[in-house]
Amino acid sequence: MDKFCVLLALALIVLSAEGSLQSRPKVRRAVSNSNRRYQCGIKKRQVEGLITNGLTTKLGEWPWHGALFHRKNRHAKEYKCGATLIDQNFVITAGHCVVDRESGYEVNAKSVTVDFGYVQLFSSSSHGQSHGVLEIIVHPEFEKDSNKHDIAVLSLKTAVRFSDFVLPICVGLTRSDESIRDIIGQQGRAVGWGLTENDETSTDLKLAILPIVD
């Protein structure tokens, strides 16, 4: 599943670079010295005894998974979707998570925040950190009534602080011949605070093991 996310992220980044990002000013943000001590995709917290049928995960088990919120007002926010950290300043998420369902336009970036270092929604965590969004870049071919091209990159206002509990997933391929077909038939892992079998949003970060199909 991690490789699948990698390929989706790379596809969007390439398309964005060729299309909608050409007119955007280039901004270079240096990696902090503390963040340089960490490697993407390498978990620092080793967790044993996972339950196959998808129950609660543990803190640090999925350090690149974050919670995306829409702020209703100064004191209240609403959970919308999961997001994956790919760099200290960037995350990927689904396009429909940052597009208004009625108008089809991107939501105001100022109303979006992404939290990392949590396994329970709306609960405190000594390892948690929250970051505002500077810019939303939705796939140029995404449409609100379609599942195609449903992906977006978010640029964060502040750099994420890497730790044993918050790390980016890797987006670089290790072999030039890697492709989606390399992972078909394997078991993927999906995590999130999405709807459960009871049609309710789980407040605990859940994991499910799913087959990867063509």
* Overall number of domains in the chain: 1
Return the higher-pLDDT residue of 104 and 67. Answer: 67
For residue 33, is it within any domain?
no
> Given this model, what pLDDT does residue 51 score?
39
CATH number reported for the structural domain that contains residue 205 in this entry: 2.40.10.10
Q: What is the pTM of this model?
A: 0.71
For residue 142, is it within any domain?
yes
The per-residue pLDDT of the chain, averaged, comes to 80
Q: Residues 6 or more apart from 121 whose CB is under 8 A from it?
A: 67, 79, 193, 201, 203
For residue 42, is it within any domain?
no
Residue-range definition of the domain harbouring residue 156: 55-169+176-212
What is the rounded CA–CA span in Å between residue 180 and residue 214?
8
- Where are the strands (E) in the chain, listed by range? 65-71, 77-87, 90-93, 112-116, 129-138, 152-156, 187-192, 206-211
For residue 12, is it within any domain?
no
> Given this model, what pLDDT does residue 201 score?
76
Q: Residues 6 or more apart from 179 whose CB is under 8 A from it?
A: 7
